[in-house]
């Protein structure tokens, strides 16, 4: 019962968006921390391109056990604007713009899943 | 832990740090005129606050916490107030090294950061309820 891998894709994207939201939260919380570098998650296209072969983690202490960030790479963002004398690279406005982007994509994602789900229920019921 | 819950936790740590900063600002403003009590005694010394980020191992997010509340070592301005009980033999009083304008600017910045953190909390909650809504309204 997988006509399109839409549910799988939607799940991946919502996980990615959640990780991005938590990265933005870290950046905003540390907006006044000296020496902090802003982070961002790798673009979603890259996640789709990557056919990652990961090690099987059989114990919690194993390296490569992706317990944090759901397996998405979080990297320091290259500083676009002016760096503060405190060596902090967070720009609050940019972070809020990114947060808006996340919100919009998440809304779109859940709306599509909802529509698809109601289509399937329609098929089952008729 | 779920990444959205992690976002909530990180933003909450930001709120805590910024409110601590606001507390330090209010202490400085309240004591902007607190001179010493003995002749020639030191007045109130301005407090400063610094933050540091701390990696939360359970979630992978960077929490923020107060790293230290220190004292500003700058010199005290001196005013001529012979009637003050902290005046030395020539009538000069050491005033606290609090600059009200600097404190006001600091307060606005704390306010701005607090608002940004609050916005993140609101949005993370919205995202969570959007996901929950998937299970709702479908007969």
pLDDT band at A29 (very low <50, low <70, confident <90, very high): very high
Which residue, among B1, B2, B3, B124, would best test binding to A if mutated, counting the most A CBs under 10 Å from its CB? B3
Query: Which residue shows structure tokens 């701390």?
Result: B54
Q: What is the pLDDT of residue B29?
A: 95
pLDDT digits (tens, 9 = 90+) for B19-63: 999 999 999 999 999 998 888 889 999 999 999 999 888 877 889
Task: List the single residue in A14, A29, A74 with the smallest CB-CB distance to B63.
Answer: A29
| ipTM of the prediction | 0.79
pLDDT digits (tens, 9 = 90+) for B61-113: 889 999 999 999 999 999 999 988 888 899 999 999 999 999 999 999 999 99
Closest CA to A98 of A11, A22, A12: A22
Q: Give every CB contact of residue B87 below 8 A, 6+ residues apart in sequence.
A: B39, B81, B93
Give A32 to chain B, closest Cα distance, Å.
7
Residue-averaged pLDDT of chain A? 83
Count of Cβ atoms closer than 10 Å to residue B11 Cβ: 29
Contact B64 A92 (CB under 8 A): no
pLDDT digits (tens, 9 = 90+) for A35-78: 899 999 988 988 888 765 666 667 766 665 455 677 788 888 87
pTM, to two decimals: 0.81
- Per cent of chain A over pLDDT 70 is 81
Q: How far is residue B35 from each of residues B20, B80, B95, measured CA to CA in Å? A: 24, 13, 6
Which chain A residues touch B3 with a CB distance below 8 Å? 15, 18-19, 21-22, 69-70
Closest CA to B3 of A52, A88, A13, A114: A13
């Amino acid at each position: 019962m997988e006509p399109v891998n839409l549910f799988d894709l939607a799940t991946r994207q919502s996980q990615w968006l959640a990780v991005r939201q938590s990265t933005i939260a870290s950046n905003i919380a540390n907006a006044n921390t000296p020496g902090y570098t802003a982070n961002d998650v790798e673009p979603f296209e890259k996640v789709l391109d990557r056919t990652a072969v990961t090690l099987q983690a059989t114990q919690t202490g194993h390296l490569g056990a992706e317990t944090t960030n759901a397996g998405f790479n979080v990297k320091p963002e290259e500083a676009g604007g002016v760096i503060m004398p405190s060596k902090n690279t967070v720009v609050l406005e940019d972070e809020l713009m990114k947060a808006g982007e996340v919100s919009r994509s998440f809304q779109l994602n859940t709306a599509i899943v909802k529509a698809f789900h109601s289509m399937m229920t329609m098929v089952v019921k008729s | 832990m779920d990444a959205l819950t992690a976002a909530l936790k990180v933003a909450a740590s930001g709120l805590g740090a910024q409110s601590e900063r606001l507390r330090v600002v209010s202490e400085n403003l309240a004591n902007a005129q607190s001179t010493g009590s003995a002749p020639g005694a030191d007045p109130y010394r301005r407090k400063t606050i610094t933050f540091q980020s701390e990696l939360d191992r359970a979630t992978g997010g960077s929490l923020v916490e107060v790293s230290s509340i220190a004292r500003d070592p700058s010199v005290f301005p001196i005013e001529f107030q012979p009637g003050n009980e902290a005046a030395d033999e020539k009538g000069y009083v050491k005033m606290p090294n609090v600059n009200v304008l600097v404190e006001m600017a600091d307060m606005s910045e704390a306010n701005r950061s607090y608002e940004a953190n609050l916005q993140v909390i609101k949005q993370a909650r919205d995202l969570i309820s959007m996901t929950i809504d998937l299970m709702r309204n479908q007969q």
